[in-house]
Amino acid sequence: MCFCDNESMKRVIYIFLIIFTLLLFLKACIRKDIPEQKTAVNKNLNQNIEYNFPEKAKTVTKDGIDYLQTQAPIGKFGGEIILSIFGEGPKTFNPFTSKDATSSQMAGMMFDGLFTTDAKTGEVIPKLAKEYEIKGNDYYVYLRKGLKWSDETPITADDVIFTWKDIIFAGLGNTSLRDSCIIDGKLPTISKIDDYTVKFTLPKPFAPFLRQLSAEIAPKHVFENATKKGAKYFDGFYSTTTPPETFVTSGAFKLKEYKPAQRVVFIKNPNYYEINTKNEKLPYLNKVVYLIVGDANNEILKFEAKEIDVISLKGSNVARYKQKEASSDYKIYNIGPDTGTMFIVLNLNNRKNPEGKYYVQPEKQFWFKDKNFRYAIDYAIDRDNMVQNIANGLAEPLFTAESLNSIYLNKDIKGHKRDIDISREYLKQAGFYTNKNGKLFDKYGNIVEFDLYTNAGNIERESLGVMVKQDLEDLGMKVNFKPIEFNTLVNKMVNTLDWDMILMGLTGSPLEPHNGKNVWNSYGSLHLFNQRLEKTSYDDRFDFEKQLDEIFDKASLETDFNSRKALYNKYQEIVYEEKPIIYLYSPTRIIAVRKKFKNIYPSILNGVMYNIEEIYVDK
């Protein structure tokens, strides 16, 4: 800190006012200068198509092979694209054991599913499947003929049946998909009609099922032995220590190299089944490299040094990059609201661990389970401050369990501004009081102190955590903010359960709330606020948990959109009223991509790299 004479101080203040005014002007212009790429997700979104997507891919049969022919402009073969990932890198390359976004992303590069989501319309469209039929509760899926795994083994119905029966339905790895497939207490059955036709039979009509068939398919001849050795062995199969040359894949790329904390390198799969309109095999790129950058600051440095080609921009960086765009080698895309959600979650668990100790200290159980306490936290959080100072105005306050671009968003939930007086009133109603030093105590005389965790290295979440800490300390609460390594955080959340409050985000689907059933079902693998490690009894459910269980079960069986939306509106109302999870804000996704890359079609649903097989370098 230093002192200035009066004239110097005047100059400093004058310069500050000019800079502050310029920043306000840039904020106001950003939304206008970077038009949002809107898509006709479906008629319920009521959005206009403002981007020139290519026509849908179609099937072309050549030499007995049912290729998927892209209709995107013809590109050039060769070259590479360098992308980035945060943190320590992937935890596994097995798509069936992945529990984090990075690992799922890496596995998704190598394995395709039967279906995928159309980036423009949101419709379910064929991928490994050629077509399908629905006859009552029977789903007939017809596979593309002539397709091969990267080791030249044919892809057949046996692979599909094995994947669903022996991995997913058997409960190996991450059971989230299996749990969300339970229909009225039963799982679908699967049978083989012929080498290229499978039939799924459902207990009842089930609206989400076709979209669930987007799950990756495993090569039976490779994975079968791992399934026979049991769950523990399977959890370590296709791990980050598996030699890349042993991977057998179906996607556009296959693993070439993995250097922990440095990079993941993929090379093109010569057996990939997608072609261009000249019947040339895709992908165009020879290589896709993911640099493990650690955090957002390092990512920015690498983008500016031209070491990476794509970057997600946040906060004040958007204005700076927008200013330079015209004379730069990159183009900026505004994709719209993030498809995930950012929130803080309270641990409402009142059970004991195997050693007989409570997961959550009894006095904290009293606080967290009191709805007045949760309301006090909710009203103390200054979301507008977060939007302005962390997202630089490029975000919206969030109060719902569905993302702002969800077709099931309950728009009647309006939220509220920060009001510290309302917070204090809620605390007073629950018997909390402050001493002469402003410290908060419960009615039993316990000082209110708890830990708030997030994953270290995520600058956005760390910044949000500091703000939440400050907001709650205005109420007299003592908040110990502890950013920790991501794996340690996940272990606390879903295994040891020894945490008080966590700030984190979850990915989501703007098209299918049922994908979040593992969060809201009482025994879901991500039922974070009241995690149950054992399926002992339903007797310990909160009343609102019972309601959520019933809603998700009922909505999955409802095939009429308006009827489903009414049910999902109700679930959002319950979460808003009960606040076991308190939502913070929804950032606007702003992406910068080097101009040399073509066939870029930004999608509000899928981002910018979803069609990696079509993207090429215009040298």
User: Is the bond leading into 283 cis (omega within 30 degrees of zero)?
Assistant: yes
For the ranges 124-133, 295-304, 434-443, the lowest mean pLDDT is seen at 295-304
Residue 42 lies in a domain: no
Residue 543 lies in a domain: yes
Residue 568 lies in a domain: yes
Residue 445 lies in a domain: yes
Residue 360 lies in a domain: yes
pLDDT over 70 percentage in the chain: 91
Question: Beta-carbon neighbour count of residue 532 at 10 Å?
Answer: 18
Q: pLDDT tens digits, residue range 127-165?
A: 999 999 999 999 999 999 999 999 999 999 999 999 999
Q: What is the CA radius of gyration of the chain?
A: 25
Average pLDDT (533-555) is 86
Residue 252 lies in a domain: no
Q: pLDDT tens digits, residue range 503-527?
A: 999 988 889 999 889 899 998 888 9
| Model confidence band, residue 537 (pLDDT cutoffs 50, 70, 90) | low
The chain-wide mean pLDDT, for the chain, equals 89
Domain count, the chain: 1
350, 374, 411 from 31: Cα distances, Å: 46, 34, 22
Phi, psi of 68 (to 5 degrees): -100, 115
For the ranges 40-49, 297-306, 480-489, the lowest mean pLDDT is seen at 40-49
Contact 615, 597 (CB under 8 A): yes
- Domain interval for residue 519: 341-587
Predicted TM-score (pTM) of this structure:
0.81
Average pLDDT (27-37) is 43
Specify the pLDDT at position 535.
Answer: 67
Q: pLDDT tens digits, residue range 561-615?
A: 999 999 999 999 999 999 999 999 998 999 999 999 999 999 988 889 999 999 9
Contact 27, 393 (CB under 8 A): yes
Residue 231 lies in a domain: no
Contact 529, 348 (CB under 8 A): yes
| Model confidence band, residue 34 (pLDDT cutoffs 50, 70, 90) | very low
Distance CA 68, CA 245 (A): 26
Specify the pLDDT at position 619.
Answer: 77
Q: What is the CATH number of the domain that holds 376?
A: 3.10.105.10
Residue 419 lies in a domain: yes
